[in-house]
Structure formats: structure tokens, C-alpha cells
Amino acid sequence: MHIETAAYINMNIRFFSFALIFLISCGICPSGENEKVEARFTEIIIKVKPDIIIMPEGTYKPPLNEVEVCSPELQELNKEFNLIIIEKMYALKKPAEEVGKEFPEREARAPEGIEEPDLENTFLLKFPEHTDPKAIIEEYEKLKDVIYVEENKVFEIF
């Protein structure tokens, strides 16, 4: 019985040693070295009338000072809420004709007469993390150049 107890303890030590090595190698155990700090933002999706927000040609996430905002009211709110980033949504979207050529089975399933939604003037606005999204939405909705505005809810599973 004494030998069985020693074998049991030895087996447990091996198991926990392997488990600890595995957890450290996967980065699950906090070591401080591999900690990655991600910037967090309050994100709002906004659709504006044409030619209100103009991005430099060929860009979808330019520096903020290169984005032309042609609405004084929108400029003022961007400053008031400390806008950090403007990204063009759907910048890499392909025209329906190109998608149909690449995926003919998809084109065959599409009902006749369906029009592509206009996503051209849709942008992702990023504000400091603790900015109240409801306050942003309430103020941006009042602008005549804004078609719609909604919170971009980001969910993390783990």
C-alpha cells in the first residue's frame, strides 16, 4: 500500500508538471511578457448623405487629419466627443457583377430585381472607450446630413 501511494503521488506530480508547462506555452498563465493591451473604443456606425465625409482616394482608414468633413455641425460633434478614428465601412466591397462571376451558383439563387444596398457613405467612428454611446447617437441623429447612426456593439466571447 505504501508503494501504491508513492506511485499515485508521482503520477500526480507528472500530470501537474505537464499541465503547467502546457498552460505556460499556450500563454494561458499570466507571465507579464506576452500581455497584449488592445485599445478599446466606443464605436458608432454612421451613414451620411453623399459628399459629407470624403476620404483620400484609395484609403479606408486614413489619419483623421486627412479626412474631409464637409458639414460644420458634424465637425463640431466630432470635436465635442473627441473622435479618434473614421473608417470607411465596406471599402473592399466588390460590385455585384464581379461577385456573380466569381460565384455563379450564388447569382443563380438571387431573386430577380433585387437591388444592391447603397453602402457607399457608411463609416465607423471610434471614440474614447468611456464615451457614452447613447449620448453620441442622440446628438448625431439630430444632424440633417446623417441618414442613420447606431452603436457598433463589439462582443467578446472569452
CA distance linking residue 57 with residue 77, whole number of Å: 25
Q: What is the pLDDT of residues 129-148, one digit of tens each?
A: 889 999 999 999 999 999 99
Cα–Cα distance, 38 to 30 (Å, whole number)? 16
State the DSSP string of 68-126: EE--HHHHHHHHHTT--EEEETTTTPPPHHHHHHH-HHHHHHSPTTPPPP--TTEEEEE
pLDDT value, residue 142? 96
Mean pLDDT in residue range 30-51:
73
pTM over 0.75, yes/no: no
- The whole-angstrom separation of Cα 109 and Cα 129 is 42
**3-state secondary structure at position 85:** strand
Question: Can you give the residue ranges of every domain in the chain?
Answer: 1-35, 41-151
Question: Predicted confidence band at 31 (pLDDT cuts at 50, 70, 90)?
Answer: very low
Q: Tell me: pLDDT of 108 over 90.
A: no
| Mean pLDDT computed over every residue of the chain | 80
- Separation CA 35–CA 30 (nearest Å): 8
| pLDDT class of 107 with cuts at 50, 70, 90 | confident
